[in-house]
Structure 1
Amino acid sequence: MRLLALFTIACALPFHAQTSAFVDLDNLVSRAMKESGTPGAGIAIISHGKVVYEKGFGVTDVETQTRVQPETLFRIGSTTKMFTAAAVLTMVEEGRADLDRPIATYVQGLQSAIGALTLRQLLSHTAGLGDRGSRYGRHDDVALAEGIRALTPEILELEPGAVYSYSSLGYWIAGLVLESVTGKPFADAVADRVLRPLGMNRSTFRPLEAMTYPFAQQHEVSSKEAPRVLRPFADDAATWPGGSLFSSTSELTRFVLAFLQKGKLDGKQVLPAGVIQAMSQPHSAIPGGGDQYTYGLVASKDRGVFTLSHGGARVGYGSLIVMAPDQQSAVIIVTNRSGSTLPAVAQRAMGMVVPFGPAEPEPPVPSVIPEETLKTYIGTYAGGSWRITITQESGHLVVGFEGKRYPAKPANSGRFTTDGPLSDFIFVPGPDGSIRYLHVELRTLRKIE
């Protein structure tokens, strides 16, 4: 596999970008893993519709020292969302579900406010839901439905359809719609509609199935400790649609190749072209920049190149998929350390196969913000367990969070930063132009005072 990969990339790239470039990439991967305390990783690169590089690094388990291979399964965290979205959209293509009908049309027993949400809102993170996560829970197929039916109206923190706010919970609910319409457990419905047609025969949501194949254990690391295996294994079947797929670089490449080829793989149409089209179009603006969310992917413009990407950061694992559809090129990264995505590796690898232009200049940072503008930001913003207070002192904003206060300074693109835990945030206006929201760490909080 390694010799074949090197031969293929030698054919695909100019002479000067051949072997030495991939030796440099190997070295960068090793350094990045060491610096981040990542025990193992899998890397794959696709160039012009072909897999040109695929390699495992490090170990699946710091205790057994088993080597990572391209076939090794990792849990990919929120990168799972592109698979959940694809499976849901196959139902839409078949006419069995409508993106704009209330989901109560398909799922019985929901609280009325939740039942009024639509698949379009759920898949684009505009449903107004709070975000939720869980390390441990049940492992049976009925956990998803029972968990969603137990939700109360308080989980709706924003007006549905008003603004982007990242919520894994929205994907859990979309997964229940898939389950209800197909009459199959969520894990089986995704397998039938996406995984098996693509030949991703080992990819699964079920830990007890994943563990029968070459498998990377979950690891965590701290500044004072070496990477360690986490026990017990983290799992909650009620959260699977938002971030719990197990897969490998060798199987993830099949999904990415099909995506880049409008649903075709090995000469066959394995996913409807309409699914790929829907997942490639922006559906909601992400505050604080030019990025937009499609369904299960983030659409960006990077140095003149259109990209679609999603990362995953969950307990014990990390992942990142970046695709450049116009160039039919992509990078896939999976790791077995909490939140590790090796971004420098992704950037270097993409630069080897995509003709990026020069870096765009950063927008200027305003030296002075009018006091009348600062006054519009003052208030308390809340959502879930978050509560952030913005005040004004001597012509500057001060952020109150978790009992501490941090001076804020303006950054580019309308953002603000602090030296505290809230390093980057932006104020977001409502339809009438007045400031109604605070966007921080992917979430949007509502102004309550």
Structure 2
Amino acid sequence: MLLRGSRRALLGFGLGLGLLAGCGDDSAPSGGGGSGGSGGQPSSTTTDMGGQGGEAIDPRFNPVIEALEAEMAQLDTSGAAIAILEGGEVTFARGFGKKNPEEDAPVVATTLFRIGSTQKMMTATAVLQLVERGQLDLDEPITTYVPDFAFNLDPTWAPSITVRDLLTHQSAQYDYLKIDTPQVGDEALGDWINGYWSNQGYLMAPSGRMWNYSNPGFMMAGFVAETVSGVPYRTYMAENVWGPLGMNRTFLLPSDVIADGDYASGSTLHWDTGEPMIATPDSYDNGWARPAGFAFSSVLDMAEFVKFLRAGNPSVLADQLRTQMFAEQVDTEIVPGEFYGFGLEAARGFFLHGETASEIDYYELPRISHAGALQGFSSDVFYFPSLDFGFITLANADGAYFRDTLEVALKTLVELPAPSTPPDLSVDPADYPLYVGDYTDPWNVGAISITTDGAELLISIELADNYDIPYDHVLEPYAPNNFILTIQGVELPVTFLFDEPSAAKYLRTRYFVGERDATARTVARTDAERAANLFSALEEARRDRPIALR
């Protein structure tokens, strides 16, 4: 049995799940705290809790503060905010560092950051409201509600996608995103769906067959909601989700954020040139991608959403549908026990470091979470129902996920039970023949060949060979049916999926899906077109995991 890639397995590639902490170090803590801010004061009167503004810090939060300051230095993050909820109440909320890496104004608990894909749980809430009102059915095709939409490349695709598929990342739509576009009006979403995406969008697999992260799936969900409600997505969210939940400083328009005044700017790379830059609220915008994660919020507003997940709000959504948001809607088939609900990740347990650095403990306790990333910003939302504990962080840097700090918070603020028996993450080379065969992806990489020498699982990608794209031919195992493909310096999770136990049917990555014996599938693109698309996807993945919406 192999457990060679066990650390990757625990980290849960693709979802940011599993082991809640990274490799800690002994870096000295770096600045943070303080009150006030540049560019004006927040419109909210809420103040920081836990030490800012002259308030005394409850000493039980000192380990969390020390861990977050150390992790900020480790992650090269200039500014961050954190909120901790215990028993449904915010017991600690504070800013650390600077709002702008090049200025001195301090982050406070009310400071606004872009939240990336943590917004998906909010888009899902909007759609489920319309289900509750009888205006949508989760299992109806999307064409029931947007009858004029069609994929021009194959008219059978759109009717095959259900509303449920959109909310669970099972629509199989290729993951596509532009960070900045001139299309920023409320009409942009419908124009893009019925224009560009109708003409250029495609499915990488049969809809409903597998979980595969797709931002366009949530863009489509937002379009369905705005079409059925008759209200633009931005207005619908403010009036039906954020407003009723008390999230009065959650915005989609950069102009609203600038007018508010209390906002962070992020350190990042330009999405086209790769040059270092500081992303201010108006550095980029995209009107048609908003349902997937372009909002700005604070840890205090995000805490209001965690309170909603915890205890509900019947004026927003019936409990029966709210609890379905974090139910096990689809198995991600990555790490055992990891599922996706409606806009939320749902897991049966989590890993923490044990008493020594080499020990890993597993706790079979449910976890609800989602991470977010957009150029210059990172977000994390966690809620542990059986512990009644919530943890939220926002940061103005790429890849700034404070998993060490979360681990410290769980170990020092929560009474954890004894560790449980962990899921079996071992990979047996005796299973490699189940993966061996020829797979085809007509959209992105073409022919894929999987072989084995008995000890290693090997991959050959004809397109990469023809275009001199460097990749490691050895797939590194990290969990049952899951491997890592290193291509052009980027580590891509690869999952083999089965229709029958005798042989894998699909080879899945976020950016391409190969199907075994796909004789009925036509060649959809030339090699040159596929190579250009692969280069683009790898460049996006290289700047991530921090950058593309997730």
TM-score bucket of the superposed structures, by smaller chain: 0.7 to 0.9
Tell me, in whole angstroms, the C-alpha distance in 1 between the residues paired with 2:190 and 2:70.
44
SS of aligned partner of 2:96: strand
Is 2:426 the counterpart of 1:365?
yes
Instruction: Give the 5 Å matches for 1:247-266.
Output: 247-263=297-313
Counterpart in the other structure of 2:410: 350
1:189-241 deviation digits (Å, cap 9, x = unpaired): 1111110001111101111112212111132169xx99741377121111000
Is 2:250 the counterpart of 1:203?
yes
The TM-score normalised by the length of structure 2 is 0.72
Counterpart in the other structure of 1:37: 76
- Whether contact under 8 Å (1:88, 1:174) holds in the other structure is yes
Q: CA deviation at 1:85?
A: 0.2
Q: CA deviation at 1:110?
A: 0.4
Quickly say closer, same or farther: Cα 1:418–1:84, change in 2 above 3 A: closer
| Equivalent in 310, 315, 340 of residue 370 of structure 2 | 310
Counterpart in the other structure of 2:185: 140
| Equivalent in 478, 483, 507 of residue 411 of structure 1 | 478
| Equivalent in 348, 352, 358 of residue 301 of structure 1 | 348
Counterpart in the other structure of 1:229: 278
Counterpart in the other structure of 1:11: none
| Equivalent in 146, 149, 153 of residue 194 of structure 2 | 149
Tell me, in whole angstroms, the C-alpha distance in 1 between the residues paired with 2:393 and 2:49.
20
Aligned residue-pair number: 430
Instruction: Give the 5 Å matches for 1:313-328.
Output: 313-328=373-388
SS of aligned partner of 2:102: coil
SS of aligned partner of 1:355: coil
Tell me, in whole angstroms, the C-alpha distance in 2 between the residues paired with 1:105 and 1:271.
23
Is 2:518 the counterpart of 1:446?
no
Q: CA deviation at 1:279?
A: 0.5
SS of aligned partner of 2:180: coil
AA aligned opposite 1:200:
M
Counterpart in the other structure of 1:286: 332
1:276-312 deviation digits (Å, cap 9, x = unpaired): 1220211111012221110010110221210111000
- Whether contact under 8 Å (1:28, 1:345) holds in the other structure is yes
Tell me, in whole angstroms, the C-alpha distance in 2 between the residues paired with 1:147 and 1:347.
42
Quickly say closer, same or farther: Cα 1:115–1:415, change in 2 above 3 A: closer
Q: CA deviation at 1:359?
A: 6.1
SS of aligned partner of 2:103: coil
Quickly say closer, same or farther: Cα 1:384–1:275, change in 2 above 3 A: farther
1:20-61 deviation digits (Å, cap 9, x = unpaired): 542121111111111112111110011111111101111111
AA aligned opposite 2:439:
T
Quickly say closer, same or farther: Cα 1:118–1:139, change in 2 above 3 A: same
- Whether contact under 8 Å (1:79, 1:310) holds in the other structure is yes
Quickly say closer, same or farther: Cα 1:122–1:282, change in 2 above 3 A: same
Quickly say closer, same or farther: Cα 1:27–1:154, change in 2 above 3 A: same
- Whether contact under 8 Å (1:62, 1:227) holds in the other structure is no
- Whether contact under 8 Å (1:377, 1:427) holds in the other structure is no
Q: CA deviation at 1:414?
A: 3.1
Tell me, in whole angstroms, the C-alpha distance in 1 between the residues paired with 2:440 and 2:418.
39
Quickly say closer, same or farther: Cα 1:374–1:335, change in 2 above 3 A: same
Q: CA deviation at 1:443?
A: 5.9
AA aligned opposite 1:210:
V
1:398-421 deviation digits (Å, cap 9, x = unpaired): 234543342124333332345653
Q: Which has the larger displacement, 378-387 or 164-173?
A: 378-387
Tell me, in whole angstroms, the C-alpha distance in 2 between the residues paired with 1:229 and 1:356.
44
Is 2:505 the counterpart of 1:436?
yes
Is 2:231 the counterpart of 1:184?
yes
Counterpart in the other structure of 1:15: none
Quickly say closer, same or farther: Cα 1:432–1:102, change in 2 above 3 A: farther
Structure 2 unmatched runs, 5+ = 1-45, 52-56, 350-362, 518-550
Counterpart in the other structure of 2:166: 122
Counterpart in the other structure of 2:267: 219
Tell me, in whole angstroms, the C-alpha distance in 1 between the residues paired with 2:414 and 2:125.
26
- Whether contact under 8 Å (2:119, 2:292) holds in the other structure is yes
| Equivalent in 496, 516, 539 of residue 427 of structure 1 | 496
**Which one has a larger percent helix, Structure 1 or Structure 2?**
1
Q: CA deviation at 1:130?
A: 1.1
Instruction: Give the 5 Å matches for 1:43-192.
Output: 43-111=82-150, 112=155, 113-137=157-181, 138-150=183-195, 151-152=198-199, 154-192=201-239
The TM-score normalised by the length of structure 1 is 0.87
Quickly say closer, same or farther: Cα 1:409–1:63, change in 2 above 3 A: closer
Q: CA deviation at 1:273?
A: 1.8
| Equivalent in 321, 333, 340 of residue 275 of structure 1 | 321
- Whether contact under 8 Å (1:62, 1:228) holds in the other structure is no
Tell me, in whole angstroms, the C-alpha distance in 2 between the residues paired with 1:422 and 1:161.
26
Quickly say closer, same or farther: Cα 1:386–1:219, change in 2 above 3 A: farther
Q: CA deviation at 1:19?
A: 4.5
- Whether contact under 8 Å (2:427, 2:480) holds in the other structure is no
Q: Which has the larger displacement, 418-427 or 43-52?
A: 418-427
Tell me, in whole angstroms, the C-alpha distance in 2 between the residues paired with 1:367 and 1:304.
24
Counterpart in the other structure of 1:13: none
Tell me, in whole angstroms, the C-alpha distance in 1 between the residues paired with 2:100 and 2:48.
26
AA aligned opposite 1:219:
S
Q: Percent sequence identity over matched residues?
A: 26
Tell me, in whole angstroms, the C-alpha distance in 1 between the residues paired with 2:66 and 2:276.
20
Quickly say closer, same or farther: Cα 1:411–1:271, change in 2 above 3 A: closer
Structure 1 unmatched runs, 5+ = 7-17
- Whether contact under 8 Å (2:81, 2:109) holds in the other structure is yes
- Whether contact under 8 Å (1:263, 1:270) holds in the other structure is yes
